[in-house]
Amino acid sequence: MTGAEIIVQVLADEGVDTIFGYSGGAILPTYDAVFVYNEKAKRENRPQMPLIVPANEQGAGFMAAGYARSTGKVGVCLVTSGPGATNTVTPVRDCMADSVPIIVICGQVPTSAIGSDAFQEAPVASIMGSVAKHVFLVTDPTKLEATVRTAFEIARTGRPGPVVIDVPKDIQNWRGTFQGSGSLPIPGYRHRMHRLARNVLTEEQLALFFEMLGQSKRPLIYAGGGVIHSGASQALREFAIEYQIPVVTTLMGVGSFDTTHPLSMRMLGMHGAAFANYSVEDCDLLIALGARFDDRVAGNPAKFAPNAKHIAHIDIDISEINKVKAVSWYHAGLLPEALRALLAYGRRVGFRSDWNEWLEHCAELKRQHAMNYDRNSSLIQPYYVIEEINKLTRGEAIITTGVGQHQMWSAQYFDFKHPRLWLTSGSMGTMGFGLPAAIGAQIANPDKLVIDVDGDASIRMNFGELETVTTYNLPIKVMVLNNCGDGMVKQWQKLFFKGRLAASDKSLHTKDFVKAAQADGFEFAVRLDRKEDVPRVVKEFIEFKGPAFLEVVIDPDAGVYPMVGPGQAYDEMITGDFIASRHKTQIKPPDESQMF
């Protein structure tokens, strides 16, 4: 086989059923190998490996990420050298930040030309080395097959992440024997993975955990994205329901626990529900699962969970333990196995506890501090639109978002009954994520309803992917909540910069979203600007057979509340005019050392 054919065959062996990418000179041999593979598969009536072409390589990276986030499988992105590779830097970093497994295979100039500033050359290994889980530059063609196979192993094991393979053109054209097995020697990494797998909870650890749980009057589970990535959602649900422990989730943990379940306290953090944050304030035992106490959750670590006598922490990454918040009990290992061990031990010793008073308290928090907004406004409120969509989707749709106010409104007002329905850029906060991620998710889940809830500023970042939706006739629903500018930035400017809207108010721009969507082939392209039309238009939008685009002109002053300012504690949370607060708060601007 040629090196290019070897790459494609390993992809097939690894179960890859879709590739996302944009071609170019340095990757042409591999694109040709994909074409030949698919032609042969067609003749032999075998599954093909379709190649989805975006408008931009960044789109390809986010499509691979949407595919991976919605399935748990490794997404694959295939791009050319130079700008093709550098355009994927943002999705690679995004996947690293949110622990998402993708493989980026990029062409490179021939090995003899590396370092000569050849046409479309970029130092991919140097650039990607700081943002990916691992980077391979293949210079020995006999190691190509093992390298590709090892890349998949690294991407999907441990804490998942992106792996980049830089393949010079002469390596793709080389001919050699396909071995069909084998991987690179990576003894240090495999030793850590084996140690994690062997690191099971001991009887003493189990006994100590249940001793803490038995002493607790107000236990609370704090679930992060690691619950979803590790496949521990079912184990979490069994554990929480068995012992009747309420659950709060991070932005990345949304969907790990059914938001419609009585034990769900929904999302905590900077824009978490007030009742979720108050439950964190009130708990006396916090059980952190696959979460990392990041700054969006624990803006002021010293004041986070101030009444917790004990904090327990389970995570696959030992570096996360005691990194931000000191804990009383921890386990660095596989989360599903750890939860099953805890459940089995509790059943074995007949553990029982009565937390009815705490459960009633949490239920009362949800009643007293429920999400709310100005329901009498004559302007279209974004929360109202999402509530109307939620009535139709009932927690079963895949929702992707860009980044900004619309992202937080979606997290707050949509229901998610299962994991991998909520796809958003968390740690990196990458605008432009929503549309290409929806494409990847729809390709991976052809029978599911996929909705991209986007902002007028965020969708502009990858607006060219609208044409990708119609090119492949994907029945994605794209909704733009248009408030004429960078809504979240404007909210911060109003709160902390005396209303000076520096470069964030785009109301003078002349973009006609509906005409643009029509030009890209959307047969359903509608502008919604009357409140009385919301239920009807939303229903038509969701039920339309095929790609649909909806622009909603919303109240430009609608804000995201609650809001905990950067570096501040939950007792300083701003709840706005329509959500009850139990603290008198004063808006304080962040100081020089605090983040956005």
Instruction: Read off the pLDDT of residues 145-171 as tens digits, 9 standing for 90 and up.
Output: 999 999 999 999 999 999 999 999 999
Q: Is 488 known to be catalytic?
A: yes
pLDDT tens digits along 74-98: 999 999 999 999 999 999 999 999 9
pLDDT of residue 590: 67
Residue 596 has pLDDT above 70, yes or no: no
Q: Is 119 known to be catalytic?
A: yes
The mean per-residue pLDDT over the stretch 183-201 comes to 96
pLDDT confidence tier of residue 50, bands split at 50, 70 and 90: very high
Secondary structure element (H or E) that encloses residue 77, with its range: strand 75-79
Residue 593 has pLDDT above 60, yes or no: no
Range 372-383 burial, b when 16+ CB lie within 10 A, else e: ebbeeeeebbbb
pLDDT confidence tier of residue 595, bands split at 50, 70 and 90: low
Residue 309 has pLDDT above 90, yes or no: yes
Q: Is 551 known to be catalytic?
A: no
The mean per-residue pLDDT over the stretch 331-342 comes to 97
pLDDT tens digits along 387-400: 999 999 999 999 99
pLDDT of residue 506: 73
pLDDT of residue 585: 75
DSSP secondary structure, 113-150, as one string: GTTTT-TT---HHHHHHTTSSEEEE---GGGHHHHHHH
pLDDT of residue 43: 97
Residue 467 has pLDDT above 80, yes or no: yes
Q: Pick the catalytic residue from 120, 205, 234, 594.
A: 120
Could you tell me the two tokens for 569? 């504690």
Say how many residues make up the chain.
Answer: 596
Q: Pick the catalytic residue from 488, 522, 524, 573.
A: 488
Q: Pick the catalytic residue from 169, 325, 366, 477.
A: 169
pLDDT of residue 518: 98
Residue 206 has pLDDT above 70, yes or no: yes
Q: Is 96 known to be catalytic?
A: no
The pLDDT mean for the chain works out to 96
**Pairing assessment for the beta strands 285-289 and 75-79 based on DSSP bridges:** unpaired
Rounded distance, CA 402 to CA 404, Å?
Answer: 7
Rounded distance, CA 591 to CA 579, Å?
Answer: 26
Residue 356 has pLDDT above 60, yes or no: yes
Could you tell me the two tokens for 391? 């009535």
Is 421 in contact with 473 (CB distance < 8 Å)? no
pLDDT tens digits along 494-529: 888 888 988 888 765 788 999 999 999 999 999 999
pLDDT of residue 501: 87
Rounded distance, CA 554 to CA 507, Å?
Answer: 13
CA-closest candidate to residue 33, choices 19, 45, 14, 44:
19
Is 209 in contact with 173 (CB distance < 8 Å)? no
pLDDT tens digits along 111-155: 999 999 999 999 999 999 999 999 999 999 999 999 999 999 999
CA-closest candidate to residue 465, choices 509, 433, 422, 428:
433
Contacts with 294 (C-beta within 8 Å, 6 or more apart), sequence order: 250, 324, 427
Q: Pick the catalytic residue from 5, 14, 20, 57.
A: 57
Residue 279 has pLDDT above 80, yes or no: yes
pLDDT of residue 487: 87
Q: Which domains does the chain carry?
A: 3-195 (3.40.50.970), 199-368 (3.40.50.1220), 382-553 (3.40.50.970)
Range 523-561 burial, b when 16+ CB lie within 10 A, else e: ebbbbbeeeeebeebbeebbebeebbbbbbbbbeebbbb
Residue 465 has pLDDT above 90, yes or no: yes
Residue 181 has pLDDT above 80, yes or no: yes
Rounded distance, CA 130 to CA 221, Å?
Answer: 33
Contacts with 352 (C-beta within 8 Å, 6 or more apart), sequence order: none
pLDDT of residue 413: 98
pLDDT confidence tier of residue 591, bands split at 50, 70 and 90: low
Rounded distance, CA 245 to CA 311, Å?
Answer: 14
What percent of the chain has pLDDT above 70? 98
Residue 592 has pLDDT above 80, yes or no: no
CA-closest candidate to residue 514, choices 505, 503, 523:
523
- If you ran DSSP here, which 8-state letter would residue 15 be given? T
Rounded (10°) angle between helices 487-496 and 405-413: 100
